[in-house]
Amino acid sequence: MKERLNERLTRTPFRPSADARADYETDGTTFLQYLARRAAKTVILEPLQQLLAVRRPGGPIPAAALVCFAYYAVAASTSYGRGYRQPSFSSERSVSETDRETSSAITAKSVGARGDLAAEISAEVEGVGRFVGNERILGTTVGLRGLGMAAPSQFSFQTTRGRGAPLLAWRGEARGTVTTELAPSLRGTTVRAYGSLALSDDAGSTGKATLNREGEVSITVTDRSGGVYTLNAPLK
């Protein structure tokens, strides 16, 4: 079986679009505020409530849930578009934000030693579960394509039991490196990213998510019985 999810996601599921998010994410924000607001796209995770529902006709689909989680992990790990500003750095150790679309609580904490840019970002999606991301920025490189900032990262999502329809106890993980670039152009600086994440979950599904500089995400997940789930969608 091969399930293409593209038809179900014909455009970016979070609004406003990347360029319109610029002021929200980086206008006067600190580095931790930027990380928290960058993750304020938790509407992407809402399909998990149906995909992992115990009473879902045909049963839960962990592999499709892994695709959904992977798409959010990529979207939450970078910005994309024109007009972004450099966040300021401060001595704060933790900040909290509320996703304007879903009211999910998002927290970004500094977990690095002195001089080490490392952070933990968490998002509580009511009635669904908890997302946690850990990333460490290795530094800035200068190349022909602009300034690059590689960030080895680990992401996870785990369902929580609570009110509402019961969900499958499930945990998905993603590991890899996403590099964000500041690329000069005639229209100003453009923020973009590229990289890949290895995917797995506790139901035996495995896969890979890839992001290119054009803002296109390609995700392929294979479940334990050999079924393949794919998604190709834009971050723009």
Q: Are 24 and 97 in contact (CB under 8 A)?
A: no
The pLDDT of 55-79, averaged and rounded, is: 95
pLDDT at 16 over 50: no
How far is it, in rounded angstroms, from Cα 232 to Cα 208?
12
Q: What is the pLDDT of residue 131?
A: 98
**Tokens 């927290």 belong to which residue?**
107
The dihedral sign for the CA sequence 129, 236, 148, 114 = negative
pLDDT at 17 over 80: no
In angstroms, the Cα distances linking 32 to 91, 95, 149, 158, 219 are: 10, 6, 16, 23, 28
Banded model confidence at residue 11, pLDDT cuts 50, 70, 90: very low
pLDDT in tens, 194-230: 999 999 999 999 999 999 998 899 999 999 999 999 9
pLDDT at 181 over 50: yes
How far is it, in rounded angstroms, from Cα 81 to Cα 213?
11
The dihedral sign for the CA sequence 197, 201, 207, 210 = negative
Lowest mean per-residue pLDDT among 2-11, 61-70, 123-132, 196-205 = 2-11
Q: Are 197 and 173 in contact (CB under 8 A)?
A: no
More confident residue, 204 or 8: 204
Q: What is the pLDDT of residue 201?
A: 98
pLDDT at 13 over 60: no
> How many residues are recorded in the chain?
236
pLDDT, averaged across the chain: 86
3-class SS string, the chain: CEEECHHHCCCCCCCCCCHHHHHHHHCCCEHHHHHHHHCCCHHHHCCHHHHCECCCCCCCCHHHHHHHHHHHHHHHCCCCEECCCCCECCCCCEEEEECCCCCCEEEEEECCCCCCEEEEEEEEECCCEEEEEEEEECCEEEECCEEEEEEEEEEEEEECCCCCCCECCCEEEEEEEEEEEEECCCCCCEEEEEEEEEEEECCCCEEEEEECCCCEEEEEEECCCCCEEEEEEECC
Q: What is the pLDDT of residue 133?
A: 98
What tokens appear for 65 in the block?
């849930």
Q: Are 31 and 89 in contact (CB under 8 A)?
A: yes
